[in-house]
């Protein structure tokens, strides 16, 4: 009985199967099925593994790197740990991280809705939208900036007055600073009300 021979070019990639006459490039069909089954195994993450995964993703800044290099580096580092299996891929790391982020967002929004924080955040978002619109108006107009905090940063030259039209980056920076100040004041107000009740 003649055995069907398949060339197995790269481990883990079924798309790279091809026929060839070179004996050293062939593996038996049974061995191919075994390798395919081993590579298709699911990785079951435990809470400890999730914690290690997220720490490595943050440490490697996997989201910031291009072409998946951050995810590959993270997977390589995690494989070296005793908790992880050697079949961990960059895709598995990326998909599990995205799954955890989405799960956190769903649970967080459900908790906020049940605790009543949602209404306060809607007010904050409305205030943020007004600030965003003011920032866009400041970018479009040649008038002075609408922010009170426009003089937080020194002018680029001593002859440039603060009232001239600012660059887009400066307007967005002022917008973000204003938004952060608003959030800080809101956190202080909330902590004061919580401390007052205890």
Task: Give the mean pLDDT per block of 10 residues along the chain (198 residues).
Answer: 43 47 53 60 80 87 84 89 80 89 85 68 74 66 49 48 48 71 82 60
Other CB atoms within 10 Å distance of the CB of residue 80: 8
Side-chain-side CA neighbours of residue 101 (13 Å):
11
Instruction: Note whether 144 and 105 are same-domain residues.
Output: no
Q: Quick one: pLDDT at residue 109?
A: 80
> Per the structure, how many domains does the chain have?
3
Q: Are residues 133 and 86 in the same domain?
A: no
- Mark whether 122 and 188 lie in a shared domain: yes
Q: What is the dihedral of CA 181, 187, 190, 192, to 10 degrees?
A: -90
Q: Which domain holds residue 27?
A: 5-39
Same-domain check for residues 65 and 89: yes
Together in a domain, 24 and 52: no
- 130 with 143, same domain: the answer is yes
Distance CA 55, CA 100 (A): 13
Question: What pLDDT, on the 0 to 100 scale, is given for residue 178?
Answer: 80
- Which of 113, 144, 166 marks a domain boundary? 113
Q: Are residues 144 and 187 in the same domain?
A: yes
Check whether residue 133 and residue 106 sit in a common domain: no
The pair of structure tokens assigned to 31 is 């061995």
Question: CB burial class (10 A; 0-12, 13-18, 19+) of residue 174?
Answer: buried
Query: What pLDDT is attached to residue 8?
Result: 42
Q: Are 125 and 101 found together in one domain?
A: no
- Whether residue 95 is found in the same domain as residue 163: no
pTM above 0.75, yes or no: no
> Where does a domain end: 92, 113, 134?
113
* Same domain membership, residue 133 and residue 164: yes
Alpha carbon distance 128, 182 (integer Å): 9
Question: Do 172 and 135 fall into the same domain?
Answer: yes
Q: What is each CA distance from 103 to 50, 111, 117, 198, in whole angstroms? A: 12, 12, 19, 32
């Amino acid at each position: 009985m003649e055995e069907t021979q398949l060339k197995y070019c790269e481990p883990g990639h079924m798309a790279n199967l091809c026929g060839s006459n070179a004996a050293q490039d062939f593996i038996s069909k049974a061995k191919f099925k075994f390798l395919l089954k081993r590579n298709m195994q699911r990785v079951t993450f435990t809470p400890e593994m999730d914690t290690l995964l997220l720490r490595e993703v943050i440490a490697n800044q996997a989201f910031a790197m291009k072409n998946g290099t951050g995810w590959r580096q993270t997977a390589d580092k995690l494989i070296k740990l005793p908790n992880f299996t050697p079949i961990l891929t960059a895709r598995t790391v990326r998909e599990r991280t995205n799954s955890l982020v989405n799960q956190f967002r769903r649970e967080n929004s459900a908790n906020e809705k049940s605790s009543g924080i949602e209404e306060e955040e809607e007010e904050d978002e409305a205030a943020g939208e007004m600030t965003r619109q003011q920032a866009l108006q400041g970018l479009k107009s040649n008038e002075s900036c609408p922010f009170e905090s426009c003089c937080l940063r020194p002018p680029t030259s001593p002859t440039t007055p603060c009232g001239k039209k600012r660059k887009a980056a400066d307007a967005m920076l002022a917008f973000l600073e204003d938004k952060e100040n608003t959030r800080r004041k809101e956190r202080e107000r909330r902590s004061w009300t919580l401390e007052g009740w205890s």
